[in-house]
Amino acid sequence: MIPYKKILIPTDGRSDAQGAIVFALTLGKITGAEVTAICVNDVSNYAIPWNTSSPDLNEPHYQACEKAVKTVADRGELMGINVRTEIVTGIPLQEIIKASKKYDLMVMGTAGRAGVSLMLLGSVAQKVIRFASCPVLVIRGDQQGGPACNRILIPTDGTAITRPAIMHGLEMARTFNAEVTALSVSSGRSIPIPLHRNVTQFTPDAARNAVDSVVDMGRELGIKVNPTVTMGSVANEIILASAGQDLLVMGTNGRTGYEYLRLGSVAEKTVRHARCPVLVVRKPETMPPEI
């Protein structure tokens, strides 16, 4: 089974995050994971210093948070799931990243209120993904997300750093009994990249080896994997392939020659433009103090 024992849902009460909430609750019900809804009472909403240790429970912003987490809890009750609720006061980005240390998975919707700062068009969602201590599943407001998860896409470049994402994708497929496609994008040639000395572009043979490795990993788990190799821009090919999929699972900081599969390039563009929810699995970076 998927190693998700504790799932976190950041929420600000917006209806366009319902897809993320439903997916998280569905996954929690299937896996038996503990689900927590968290809302951050943003201190930037206040003109005077806020006492984070003793918040005013009658303050409108705090009450909005209470309503937001209650909405998730009520939805969970309808699905037969007990949802823990938590309200913290502080800077949303900092509090969400801090909370992620206690969880195995974060499921977040985008296009939330600016105070919660989950807008993909800015840099905050990228920072949440980059600095969270657990994998982050991003579901845009225009995506349904759950309860069906019948088709899963796993991009790979064959490097060891993408292996955790592959395992998450395969375990997710086993949980939902989903069909899996492993995708690798070839640049078509093996020549030095001028900006990256001693690194070569990703050849068709290397791409084939990458997807064949996922096929072998799937076979060990009793999961059939459909291997696919394409040629072109990595981000564009992944985005095109995401059409018709229910979930895309990707690692970051992969092979440099594989068009920089890391935050700020392929992963960021994919999360922004993919036609389905995206689960990003990566080793977290240390959050700088200025964030």
| CATH value at residue 70 | 3.40.50.620
What number is the average pLDDT over the span 107-118?
A: 58
pLDDT at 56 over 50: yes
Residue 146 lies in a domain: no
Which among 139, 161, 183 is the end of a domain?
Answer: 139
Residues 6+ apart with CB under 8 A from 211: 156, 182, 183, 184, 225, 227, 228, 229
Is the domain of 107 the same as that of 174? no
Residue 1 lies in a domain: no
Q: What is the pLDDT of residue 266?
A: 78
Q: What is the pLDDT of residue 160?
A: 81
Residue 287 lies in a domain: no
- Identify whether the C-beta of residue 35 lies closer than 8 Å to the C-beta of residue 83: yes
> For residue 58, what are the domain limits?
6-139
Q: 175: how many CB neighbours lie within 10 A of its CB?
A: 15
Is the domain of 130 the same as that of 39? yes
Is the domain of 129 the same as that of 222? no
Most confident of 191-200, 241-250, 278-287: 241-250
> What is the count of structural domains for the chain?
2
Name the least confident of 38-47, 110-119, 206-215. 110-119
Which among 139, 173, 201 is the end of a domain?
Answer: 139
Rg, Å, the chain Cα set: 20
